[in-house]
A = this chain, B = another copy of it.
């Protein structure tokens, strides 16, 4: 869950922001003074910062600049004054975005989400991990089409891989030979579904400890096969 810090001294606005962001599933902290806000931002870990420009003690510009020196998180500035907006733009403060008051709460939420998404994209190459399927001792990397059984790589042929992937994506369901043939081979493919059997065997030889006693791909008599989790 993403943590957001809001530094805003006007209670009504602060509460409005907090409510909407929490409703969208964020973990929100609220602070009403610039001094405390800066301290909190520097010493706690947040994923995003929302700063009001006009604040007691230390203003939003100053906080932005100071935080930016140390932290690399998205910072959104909020202000009612047009001059402020220009200042945010012009001055190289390192703010990521600005929102002018009055703003619609949904606009705020949209911006927050956009910045968090972008930040994730730029910082971590998280794209790699979401293509991985891990089921019991079997790990499937879709992008590289590699399969590991108990951490050891097992080289699969195309049909074997497709079959395994299909099972892994639909575990604990029984599929008939005909059904599997349609799904993996294509519904307009000519040929005989019995060929599925042979591939099941090949697959078992590669992933099962004892292929005649399968622990992953089980035979369901009269119905088909099931990848058991």
Contacts and interface: CB of A to CB of B under 8 A. Distances in A.
Given A89-B114, A122-B72, A172 B157 contact: no
Interface in A157-216: 157-159, 161, 172-174
Contacts of A72: 122
A199 to B, nearest CB: 13
A113 interface: yes
A226 B89 CA distance: 40
A221 B173 contact: no
Contacts of A118: 94, 96
- Chain A at the B interface: mostly helix, strand, loop or mixed? mixed
Nearest to A72: B122
Contacts of A89: 110, 113-114
A92 interface: yes
A207 to B, nearest CB: 18
Interface in A80-114: 89, 92, 94, 96-97, 110, 113-114
Interface string A211-229: 0000000001111001010
A174 B143 contact: yes
Interface residues of A, number: 33
Interface of A: 72, 89, 92, 94, 96-97, 110, 113-114, 117-118, 121-123, 128, 141, 143-146, 157-159, 161, 172-174, 220-223, 226, 228
23 contacts: A72-B122, A89-B110, A89-B113, A89-B114, A92-B117, A94-B121, A96-B118, A97-B114, A122-B122, A122-B123, A143-B173, A143-B174, A144-B172, A144-B173, A144-B226, A144-B228, A145-B223, A145-B226, A146-B172, A157-B221, A158-B221, A158-B222, A161-B223
Which 9 pairs across A and B sit closest by C-beta, in order of nearness? A158-B222, A143-B173, A144-B172, A145-B174, A89-B110, A122-B122, A96-B118, A145-B223, A145-B220
